[in-house]
Structure 1
């Protein structure tokens, strides 16, 4: 889900929260992994618009791979072609593994849970205003507490019996 905002002010507040929330999500996941028997691996994943055809995704991916090793004259041509095609947004996942169990956590979705009150794809998101203090600055303690609670909740609900 890519969040939709009802107002410019909501977008600006979310922009203030997202980076610190992401940092706290990563830090809390690391702390939980240190105490867990689950093994975690982070990976970058492309996130495409829903209506992007599979053939276009494959072409873009192939061109991006070619760009890595292309000589300068071909690189310019590849970049020109890519500029005319849709491109994915960067996504990040944590893949948890334990024995034959696997769980994937979308890190942006987790950040959205930290920063927003509700998530309904059909409605604009509501920024969690309790994450700001009375002066409008980020309430770091509240942000830390909410992030820790959500990450602990994920580990508490991992597939049965081991944790």
Structure 2
């Protein structure tokens, strides 16, 4: 899925949020893996968007998740992953992640990131 932002203000907000979101996503994945029976590794991928894929393994089971997709779930309001990689979908920045000055609200960012990663691990198949 290729996210499409509606205007320059949304681009500015996305640029402000994406790097801290990536860092919080990776840190929260690490915390979950430490408490889980799942093992995790990362693979570099070129499509649909260059970046990394989280590969979770447990016994015979394997789950792959695009790291950018996790970031999108945090940064965008009501984000739903598309199963069509080439599809472009207009997205809306979750402005609850910004404070009254338009800067990152670290508390809100952490809370939403924890929820997204907790949901990911809660919905993994049982082995």
TM-score under structure 2 normalisation?
Answer: 0.89
Give 3-state SS (helix, strand or coil) of 2:4's partner. Answer: coil
> Does 2:89 correspond to 1:129?
no
How many residue pairs get aligned? The number is 121
Give 3-state SS (helix, strand or coil) of 2:91's partner. Answer: coil
Q: Which residue of 1 aligns with 2:59?
A: 99
Q: Which residue of 2 aligns with 1:117?
A: 77
Q: Which residue of 2 aligns with 1:25?
A: 25
Give 3-state SS (helix, strand or coil) of 2:96's partner. Answer: helix
After superposition, residues 1-163 of structure 1 pair within 5 angstroms as 1-48=1-48, 89-119=49-79, 123-160=89-126, 162=127
Which structure has the bigger radius of gyration?
1
Structure 2 unaligned runs (5+)?
81-86
Higher helix share: 1
Q: What is the CA–CA distance in structure 2 between the aligned matches of 1:119 and 1:31, rounded to whole Å?
A: 23
TM-score under structure 1 normalisation?
Answer: 0.70
Higher strand share: 2
RMSD of aligned C-alpha atoms? Answer: 1.4
